Every structure is written in structure tokens, then in C-alpha cells.
Amino acid sequence: MNIDPYKREVLYRKAQGKKLLSHYQEKLASLVALPFDGSLLLSLPETDSVIAALMTKREISCVRKEYSLSTEAINFSSSAIENRKYYLFIDEDWKYCGAYMLASGASLCASFDFDKSKSDEIRLIDAELSMQISVDYSEICGEKIFECCIKKYE
């Protein structure tokens, strides 16, 4: 019996996701300061379709900022997501567990600790696929750097 390669990949990712899910739930809960709600977690095919649909969009603007404090980076990102529904992608975990839907009015917790959560990337894509916000965390020679980017699409 031949299995579709995409279905095989999704089955593999889903199996890996079971191992990561509890840590992913902890990251989500600490980032959005709300208890994890499994009904807001997209399936892997739904998550893949969000990414595929965004890839078809044309980028019309990009604003980049760099911060040395996570609170500044989170506040910058939060200011762009007010009153919109967003898909939340954290690190590479979303590839195995799925994206998480944030309701309109949900905010990010400015005290999110990237080191404690073992996290280095947060990405938000609005439900209309018109905006993507990313925060990339790195540490070089003891200096923390948070690169933020807001991209708009049409």
C-alpha cells in the first residue's frame, strides 16, 4: 500500500509533536498569559495551509527594529497586533504541534522569558494574511539581541 508522501510527513510530524506538546503548551501559556486551550491549536494541514497561503502574497512593506530587552521587543510586536486575530508560531515547535490561534484582543506577555522557555523565535500572522510579525532572539558574547520585523502583504 502506497501512502501519499505528504500524509506520511504529517504522520511523522504528528508523532514527533506528541513528544513536544507539553513543552509547547508551556511556552504558549507563558507567552499569552492564558491557560492553553486545545481547541485553538490548528491541525498540521491547517497550519501548512496558512504558511502556503502567505507565501502567495506579495510583500509591500517591512519595518525592522532591534532591541536589547525582550520586554521592548514584545511590546513592539504587541502594538501591531491589537484587535486582530492571529496565528502564533513559536520556534520550530509549530511544525510538529500546529499553529495556535489568538483571538482578537489577546496580548503577548511582556515578561516572556526566551531563555527559560528555550525559545528563539516568535512569529505572528494575522488571520487575513495581511501582516506577519516576527521576533528573533539571539545571544552573542553575552549580549541579547531581539530582532523584530513587521511585514505587510497584499
Strands (E), the chain: 59-67, 86-90, 100-102, 121-126, 131-140, 143-153
Q: Give the domain ranges of the chain.
A: 5-153
Non-local (6+) Cβ contacts of 117 within 8 A are: 26, 27, 30, 31
Q: Are 150 and 63 in contact (CB under 8 A)?
A: yes
Instruction: Write down the pTM of the prediction.
Output: 0.92
Please name which of 131, 135, 132, 129 lies closest in space to residue 31, comparing C-alpha atoms.
Answer: 135
Q: What is the pLDDT of residues 96-120, one digit of tens each?
A: 999 999 987 788 999 999 999 999 9
Which amino acid appears at position 148 of this protein? C
Per residue in 42-92, pLDDT (tens digit) is 999 999 999 999 999 999 999 999 999 999 999 998 888 878 899 999 999
Judge whether 70 and 144 are in contact, CB under 8 Å: yes
